[in-house]
Amino acid sequence: MDSWLTYSDFKEKYPDSSLTEPQFTPMAIDAALFIENATRWCASIAAEPEQTELLALCQARLVALSEEVSASWDGVTSVSNHGYTESYASGMDMQSYLGARQQQIVEQTLSAPVTRWMLYQGGVYHPPRRR
């Protein structure tokens, strides 16, 4: 499986990140797998430098999102101070948010003209006319 992003490239793009290289590696692999799945494995055949540059940017954004969610997601959805009521989100809420945001990042980053072909846009079926 291809990975378009190295740890040093990630640190150049996100210098404030607190990820270490051992923490970065599994997140980068997950991000690459998400990109491959979202593009229906078309990303692995990218050959042009512009395409691999956009794939690396997309992977970096997904790793940064993963770091942000793992660091800031406390699960509290609402708090009432006087009666001290807290409501907690389930793990499914976090997964739903993360999945939607990941898909949004992939679509935003890879919708450039050089990588647009990787994203499946769906087909339109036109049935034959009746005679």
Range of the domain at 55: 7-118
> Is 104 a domain residue?
yes
- The pLDDT of residue 80 is 67
Lowest mean pLDDT among 15-29, 96-110, 117-131: 117-131
Number of domains the chain is built from:
1
Distance from C-alpha of 93 to C-alpha of 45, rounded to nearest angstrom: 34
> Is 39 a domain residue?
yes
- Indicate the residue type of 79: V
Phi, psi of 73 (to 5 degrees): -80, 105
Query: What do you get for the CA distance between the two ends of the chain, in Å?
Result: 51
> Is 129 a domain residue?
no
Span 82-106, average pLDDT: 78
CB 106 within 8 A of CB 38: yes
> Is 15 a domain residue?
yes
Has residue 50 got a pLDDT over 90?
yes
> Is 71 a domain residue?
yes
b/e map 9-26, b = 16+ CB within 10 Å: ebeeeeeebebeeebbee
Is pLDDT larger for residue 120 or for residue 112?
112
Distance from C-alpha of 37 to C-alpha of 10, rounded to nearest angstrom: 21
The residue behind tokens 């691999």 is 52
CB 35 within 8 A of CB 55: yes
> Is 76 a domain residue?
yes
> Is 128 a domain residue?
no
Predicted confidence (pLDDT) per residue in 65-87, tens digit = 999 887 666 565 566 667 676 66
Has residue 61 got a pLDDT over 90?
yes
Share of the chain above pLDDT 90, in %: 55
> Is 86 a domain residue?
yes
